[in-house]
Amino acid sequence: MLPGYVSYRTAILRPMIGTDEFWALIEASATATADPDERLAWLTDRLAERPADDAVDFALRLDEARARADTWHLWGAALHLCGGLCSDDGFHYFQAWLVGLGRETFERVVADLDALADVPEVRRLAERPTDDWDDAEWPDWESLDYVAGRAYERITGLPEGLDDAVEARGRARSELPDPVDEAWDLDEPEEVARRYPKLVALLLLGDGSGRPVCQTAKP
């Protein structure tokens, strides 16, 4: 099989949605609108104009990006930023939010998690306690998970058909975090400060709370 191509039911070779095109779509949606729900609609419309296999490709590229951010190390940063309010679902949606910030930001944060402190969206959140954040401001983007499924259904008329199509490729969709790096005590103040010195300093300077990680909210 030629690099960059997948087989199609008609036996015609066609380009797949690769990593570059996936990120181009994510970033184009942000250019089109800043509203998360409107970005969902924009992405769904773009995918629904294409073959059904493209929706499968998009879902797989999202999971591949998410896997790179699926670490206890990042979970600790997200938990601290959100004042302890980052359950397994919350971290799953945090990963999608990080993807939604675009490729450059995603790559920078995955390479150095303390670089979260340099992300403009994080700096704006740090200025206020989490109690003052609007729902739309929270660092999560749950709806990104729905894009490929909704597009696939519009193309094929098959509700829930995306999961079967992904399984036919020998894969399974990511539903919850499953970090493979070494677990650590996410609410140990000294370890948090050691791992994320810039983020801790930013949050202390922002609203004065330091975003204490609440043990009751630990994943």
Nearest alpha carbon to residue 72 among 197, 177, 174: 177
For the chain, 219 residues long, give each residue's pLDDT as a single digit of tens: 333 334 434 334 455 899 999 999 999 999 999 898 999 999 999 999 999 999 999 999 999 999 999 999 999 999 999 988 999 999 999 999 999 999 999 999 999 999 999 999 999 999 999 999 988 889 999 999 999 999 999 999 999 899 999 999 999 999 999 998 999 999 888 999 999 999 999 988 755 444 544 333 334
User: Rounded distance, CA 208 to CA 48, Å?
Assistant: 46
pLDDT score recorded for residue 14: 54
User: Rounded distance, CA 47 to CA 64, Å?
Assistant: 18
In a domain, residue 13? The reply is no
pLDDT score recorded for residue 78: 95
In a domain, residue 67? The reply is yes
pLDDT score recorded for residue 206: 57
Nearest alpha carbon to residue 128 among 67, 81, 96, 164: 81
In a domain, residue 8? The reply is no
Residue 90 belongs to what domain range?
Answer: 18-217
User: Rounded distance, CA 122 to CA 106, Å?
Assistant: 13
In a domain, residue 195? The reply is yes
pLDDT score recorded for residue 12: 44
pLDDT score recorded for residue 135: 86
In a domain, residue 30? The reply is yes
In a domain, residue 5? The reply is no
Enter the pTM of the model.
Answer: 0.87
In a domain, residue 4? The reply is no
In a domain, residue 140? The reply is yes
User: Rounded distance, CA 61 to CA 174, Å?
Assistant: 11
Question: Domain total for the chain?
Answer: 1
pLDDT score recorded for residue 214: 36
What string of DSSP letters covers 3-32?
A: TTEE--TTS--EE---HHHHHHHHHHHHHH
User: Rounded distance, CA 67 to CA 61, Å?
Assistant: 10
